[in-house]
Amino acid sequence: MMRRWPLLLPVLVFFVLVGFFIWRLVLMGQGDMPNMIPSVMIDKPAPDFELPPLLLNKPGLKTGDLQGRVTLVNFFASWCVPCRVEHPLLSQLAERVNLVGIVYKDKPEAARAWLAQLGDPYQALAQDSDGHTGIDFGVYGVPESYLIDKHGRIRYKQVGPFTPEDISGKLVPLLAELNK
Amino acid sequence: MMWIKAPVRGLAVLAFLLVLQGTAVAVQPNEMLQDPKLEARARELSKDLRCLVCQNQSIDDSDADLAKDLRILLRKRLVAGDSDAQAKQYLVDRYGDYVLLDPPFKASTVVLWVGPLLLLLVAVWLALSYARRRALGTVADAQAAPLNEGESRRLAALLKSEDK
């Protein structure tokens, strides 16, 4: 019987695989999707950029503006459907954090119309018309949001729209820590 | 072309489409660089860079907007005088090793590189030990105790009855 043990190996491999799949499914349930690319920008200073304003009565955005207080940089576009879904949550968030928006590869007039329709929760609004600043941040789809600490370092990246769970589970605790 | 029968015409259309498919590339003429040497370098580099939207296509293959932006950016870097390695690093700094379709060998990618080799070694070891066991089995059978008189007689009888 001793030399029969390798016959059990496929069974063992089967259960190891099942365990692995269950583990991944649980992680996916918690929002860790396999198509999300881990950001290399976390804990690095925000990239150098200077973008023109979208509106006449609101400033644009540059790297220097991200110093001194915790800021949430939100990349969005009027052509982006998930951004519309995310918008009410961002409006609520704007009461807790300095929220600034970067309009990613969009026509300015379309972005202005979008904000006029849905409301404008942003403290500053900048245009990234060629998407270059987006690439410098590591954006690969909109919406994406970056939480920047008081020293101008990226501390958190949200790929895709915020969900209420993301906000209560990840963003709010991190905000409390960074605002200390 | 009335005399061409429908199936033949269908085949001709198919052949034409196949030819077209072979030449379809994502790179648009207006993205290409004037300098053919630089353009060739850009094409080679972008074959090794992953489109982050489609994730299993290179930016050379992909029609995604971001892939186009990355192709243009890559060409800008080359025109600015970047070496191939510098241009690649520029994107790795922003998107991580994930952007490389041929990831480098380092601590975080050990499983990726060594995993298949380990599996192969395990498989070879299992196959060898199985083969050895079988060989041992046959030897053991050959060395089994010889038949006693009763057994030989029965065997002879059985063989005889089978001959009929």
pLDDT, position B138: 67
Asked if B94 and A9 come within 8 Å (Cβ–Cβ), the reply is: no
**Which residues 11-30 of B have a C-beta within 8 angstroms of A?**
none
pLDDT, position B55: 80
B133 min Cα distance to partner chain A (Å): 8
pLDDT, position A176: 94
pLDDT at residue B23 is higher than 60: no
Asked if A37 and B69 come within 8 Å (Cβ–Cβ), the reply is: no
Q: A98-107, A157-166, B8-17, B118-127: which has the minimum mean pLDDT?
A: B8-17
CA distances from B81 to A155, B37, B86, B88 (A): 32, 13, 9, 13
B12: confidence class by pLDDT, cuts 50, 70, 90: confident
**Which residues 86-115 of B have a C-beta within 8 angstroms of A?**
92-96, 98
Cis ω for the linkage preceding A143 (within 30 of 0)? yes
- Give mean pLDDT, residues B134-140: 72
Count CA atoms within 13 Å of residue A57 on its CB side: 2
Note the CATH architecture for domain A50-178. 3-Layer(aba) Sandwich (3.40)
pLDDT at residue B2 is higher than 60: no
* Token pair recorded at residue A5: 């043990």
Asked if B96 and A105 come within 8 Å (Cβ–Cβ), the reply is: no
Across the interface, which of B95, B129, B130 has its CB nearest the CB of A138? Answer: B95
B141: confidence class by pLDDT, cuts 50, 70, 90: low
pLDDT at residue B8 is higher than 90: no
Where in B5-62 does DSSP place strands (E)? Answer: none
pLDDT at residue B1 is higher than 70: no
B22: confidence class by pLDDT, cuts 50, 70, 90: low
Asked if B96 and A37 come within 8 Å (Cβ–Cβ), the reply is: yes
Across the interface, which of A9, A131, A136 has its CB nearest the CB of B94? Answer: A136
Q: How does pLDDT run along chain A (180 residues), one tens digit per residue? A: 456 777 888 899 999 999 999 998 998 877 777 777 778 889 999 999 999 999 999 999 999 999 999 999 999 999 999 999 999 999 999 999 999 999 999 999 999 999 999 999 999 999 999 999 999 999 998 999 999 999 999 999 999 999 998 999 999 999 999 998
Asked if B52 and A38 come within 8 Å (Cβ–Cβ), the reply is: no
Please state the CATH superfamily assignment of the domain spanning residues B6-104 in this structure.
Cytochrome C biogenesis protein (1.10.8.640)
Across the interface, which of B53, B69, B96 has its CB nearest the CB of A40? Answer: B96
Contacts of A132 in chain B (CB under 8 A): 69, 73
A57 min Cα distance to partner chain B (Å): 30
The enclosing H or E element of A103 equals strand A98-104
Cβ(A136)–Cβ(B94) under 8 Å? yes
Domain boundaries, chain B: 6-104, 109-163
End-to-end CA distance of chain B: 74
- Expressed in percent and rounded to 5, the helix, strand and coil fractions of chain B are 70, 0, 30
Q: A105-109, B46-50, B51-55, B82-86: which has the minimum mean pLDDT?
A: B51-55
CA distances from A60 to A70, A101, A116, A146, B144 (A): 17, 9, 18, 17, 91
- If 0-12 CB within 10 Å is exposed, 13-18 middle and 19+ buried, where does residue A71 land? buried
pLDDT, position B76: 94
The enclosing H or E element of B123 equals helix B110-142
B123: confidence class by pLDDT, cuts 50, 70, 90: very high
Contacts of B94 in chain A (CB under 8 A): 40-41, 135-138
pLDDT, position A149: 95
Q: Tell me the average pLDDT of chain B.
A: 85
Say whether residue B130 is in contact with chain A using an 8 A CB cutoff.
Answer: yes
